[in-house]
């Protein structure tokens, strides 16, 4: 095995680890505790707490965050420059879909929509659940 092949293998393994580690962290936290550490610090929970949904939500959020980008970064090393550009375009589109779904009326990111989950916490409610307050 040449030095180039060894280097390419190391890059592939590093990007593979970049995909697997966030998925395992998110899935384990949500399956075991119902939330990640950051959501725990802010007092949020992911509901409903179902193991299969935790895995699906972790997979979608990892794909939107790092997985597709990692594939796009590894492809040029393999000599697949055009395919890498296509995967970059897909990664940017996925990021935009994920980001633009949050400001909508449901205020849920792509991972919540796909996994049929939602983040809940103290003081969260829908706009229809609160009565209007008179200010004058």
Provide the whole-model pTM.
0.70
Helix/strand/coil for 125: coil
Nearest 10 degrees: Cα torsion 119, 97, 127, 118: -20
What pLDDT is attached to residue 7?
Answer: 86
Condensed to tens digits (0 to 9), the pLDDT of residues 40-78 reads 888 888 887 776 788 888 888 888 888 888 888 888 888
Say which DSSP state 103 is in. Answer: T
Condensed to tens digits (0 to 9), the pLDDT of residues 77-120 reads 888 999 999 999 999 998 888 888 777 777 788 888 888 888 77
What pLDDT is attached to residue 101?
Answer: 78
Tokens of 96: 């935009």
What pLDDT is attached to residue 89?
Answer: 95
Residue position matching structure tokens 């950051």: 38
What pLDDT is attached to residue 11?
Answer: 84
Alpha-carbon distance 43 to 21, whole Å?
24
């Amino acid at each position: 095995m040449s030095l180039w092949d060894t280097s390419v293998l190391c890059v592939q393994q590093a990007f593979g680890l970049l995909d697997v580690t966030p998925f395992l962290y998110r899935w384990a936290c949500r399956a075991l505790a119902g939330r990640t550490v950051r959501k725990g610090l802010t007092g949020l929970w992911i509901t409903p707490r179902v193991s299969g949904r935790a895995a699906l939500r972790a997979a979608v959020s990892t794909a939107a965050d790092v997985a597709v980008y990692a594939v796009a970064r590894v492809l040029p090393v393999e000599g697949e420059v055009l395919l890498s550009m296509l995967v970059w375009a897909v990664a940017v589109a996925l990021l935009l879909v994920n980001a633009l779904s949050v400001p909508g009326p449901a205020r849920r990111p792509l991972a919540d929509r796909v996994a049929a989950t939602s983040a809940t916490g103290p003081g969260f409610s829908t706009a229809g659940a609160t009565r209007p307050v008179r200010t004058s």
